[in-house]
Amino acid sequence: MKVDLTVNGSQHAVDVADNALLSDVLRETLGLTGTHIGCDTSQCGACTVHLNGRSVKACTVLAGQADGGDVTTIEGIANGDELHPMQVAFRANHALQCGFCTPGMIMSAIDLVQSANEPLSAEEVREGLEGNFCRCTGYHNIVRAVLDAQANM
């Protein structure tokens, strides 16, 4: 099956199996391994990317469903050497321990902040990130980072 995707601004026409997942295409076909597969059962959110501007779990989107879509992964958010404000805030607040959940956390957090009509409270950030698990349980600093980043986005 042929699937056309724009990934981080570059156009790709990929030939994949009919049952390929978006996460397979990103990691295996395009080599973008920043999108992590944690649970592979739609629960942990480590594979979160943006599809047409909204956060989705790439392990629960069939590649064919994304045909013609615009995908942004963790590799696509920095501006050259200049990190995205959310990346800066995660680093400044030590919002990662092992780091496995971090790409998904950052992609979810960016959509969360961008979709909010007004500044988010800590409570709203916690609720808004309920689709992402940090198994190190490093949530306090993740919430601090998101609150910090929203002032700079």
Partner 1 sequence: MYTFNFRRASSLEDAQQIHQSSSDAVYVAGGMTLIPSLKLRLANPDDVVDLSQIDGLGAISSADGAVSVGAMARHCEVAATTDIPALAALANRIGDGQVRNRGTIGGSLANNDPAADYPAAVLGLGATIHTNSRTIAGDDFFVDLFETALGDGEIITRVDFPIPKRAAYAKFANQASKYAVVGVMVAETDSGVRVGVTGAGACAFRLTSFEDALSANMSASALDGIDVDSSDFNSDLHASAAYRGSLVTVMAKQAVEQLTA
Per DSSP bridges, beta strands 2-7 and 69-72 are: parallel
Tokens linked to 116: 């909010």
- Minimum distance, C-beta of residue 98 to partner 1, in the bound complex (Å): 21
Shortest distance (Å) from residue 123 CB to partner 1:
15
Beta-carbon contacts of 6 under 8 Å, excluding residues fewer than 6 positions away, are 12, 69, 70, 71
Q: Which is nearer to partner 1, 17 or 79 (CB)?
A: 17
Residue 3: which residues within 8 A CB-CB, separation 6 or more? 13, 14, 15, 16, 20, 25, 63, 64, 66, 67
Least separation in angstroms between residue 35's CB and partner 1 is 13
For residues 111 and 148, which CB has a smaller minimum distance to partner 1 in the complex?
A: 111
Binding site for partner 1 (CB under 8 A): 1, 17-19, 21, 40-43, 45, 48, 51, 54-57, 60-62, 64-65, 67, 108, 111-112, 128-131
What's the closest the beta carbon of residue 113 comes to partner 1, in angstroms?
12
